[in-house]
Amino acid sequence: MENFFGILKQEMYYGEKLVSYEELKRRIEEYIDWYNNERSKIKLAGLSPVEYRTQSSQSAA
Protein backbone atom coordinates (compact mmCIF):
# COMPACT_ATOMS: atom_id res chain seq x y z
CA MET A 1 0.00 0.00 0.00
CA GLU A 2 2.87 2.38 0.76
CA ASN A 3 4.25 1.72 -2.71
CA PHE A 4 0.91 2.67 -4.29
CA PHE A 5 0.78 6.03 -2.49
CA GLY A 6 4.39 6.77 -3.43
CA ILE A 7 3.59 6.10 -7.09
CA LEU A 8 0.38 8.14 -6.84
CA LYS A 9 2.25 11.16 -5.48
CA GLN A 10 5.00 10.82 -8.07
CA GLU A 11 2.80 10.25 -11.12
CA MET A 12 -0.31 12.22 -10.29
CA TYR A 13 0.46 15.51 -8.64
CA TYR A 14 4.09 15.87 -7.63
CA GLY A 15 4.94 19.56 -7.85
CA GLU A 16 1.47 20.66 -8.93
CA LYS A 17 -0.75 22.97 -6.96
CA LEU A 18 -4.32 21.83 -6.55
CA VAL A 19 -7.00 24.45 -6.13
CA SER A 20 -9.44 22.66 -3.85
CA TYR A 21 -10.21 19.52 -1.90
CA GLU A 22 -12.78 18.59 -4.55
CA GLU A 23 -10.14 18.77 -7.28
CA LEU A 24 -7.77 16.60 -5.23
CA LYS A 25 -10.52 14.05 -4.57
CA ARG A 26 -11.51 13.94 -8.26
CA ARG A 27 -7.89 13.55 -9.40
CA ILE A 28 -7.26 10.71 -6.91
CA GLU A 29 -10.43 8.89 -8.02
CA GLU A 30 -9.42 9.23 -11.68
CA TYR A 31 -5.89 8.04 -10.91
CA ILE A 32 -7.12 4.98 -9.00
CA ASP A 33 -9.43 4.06 -11.89
CA TRP A 34 -6.57 4.46 -14.39
CA TYR A 35 -4.14 2.54 -12.14
CA ASN A 36 -6.51 -0.41 -11.74
CA ASN A 37 -7.87 -0.59 -15.29
CA GLU A 38 -5.24 0.74 -17.69
CA ARG A 39 -1.75 0.90 -16.18
CA SER A 40 0.17 -2.24 -17.08
CA LYS A 41 2.54 -3.73 -14.54
CA ILE A 42 5.61 -5.82 -15.32
CA LYS A 43 5.00 -7.96 -12.20
CA LEU A 44 1.56 -8.85 -13.60
CA ALA A 45 2.87 -9.99 -16.99
CA GLY A 46 2.14 -6.60 -18.57
CA LEU A 47 -1.52 -6.63 -17.52
CA SER A 48 -3.43 -4.09 -15.47
CA PRO A 49 -4.49 -5.29 -11.99
CA VAL A 50 -8.10 -5.80 -13.16
CA GLU A 51 -7.01 -7.74 -16.27
CA TYR A 52 -4.71 -9.90 -14.16
CA ARG A 53 -7.45 -10.70 -11.61
CA THR A 54 -9.89 -11.53 -14.41
CA GLN A 55 -7.39 -13.80 -16.15
CA SER A 56 -6.41 -15.50 -12.87
CA SER A 57 -10.02 -16.16 -11.87
CA GLN A 58 -10.80 -17.63 -15.31
CA SER A 59 -7.75 -19.92 -15.08
CA ALA A 60 -8.82 -21.16 -11.65
CA ALA A 61 -12.35 -22.00 -12.81
Return the bridge partners of 47, or none: 41
With a cut of 70, say whether residue 1 has pLDDT above it: no
pLDDT at 57: 80
* DSSP secondary structure of the chain: -HHHHHHHIIIIITTPPP--HHHHHHHHHHHHHHHHHT--BGGGTTB-HHHHHHHHHHHH-
CB distance 24 to 43 below 8 Å: no
With a cut of 90, say whether residue 29 has pLDDT above it: yes
**Total tally of structural domains belonging to the chain:** 1
With a cut of 90, say whether residue 22 has pLDDT above it: yes
Query: Model-level pTM?
Result: 0.64
12 DSSP assignment: I
Residue 26 confidence class, pLDDT cut points 50, 70, 90 = very high
When comparing pLDDT for 20 and 51, which is higher? Answer: 20
Domain residues for the domain of 52 are 2-60
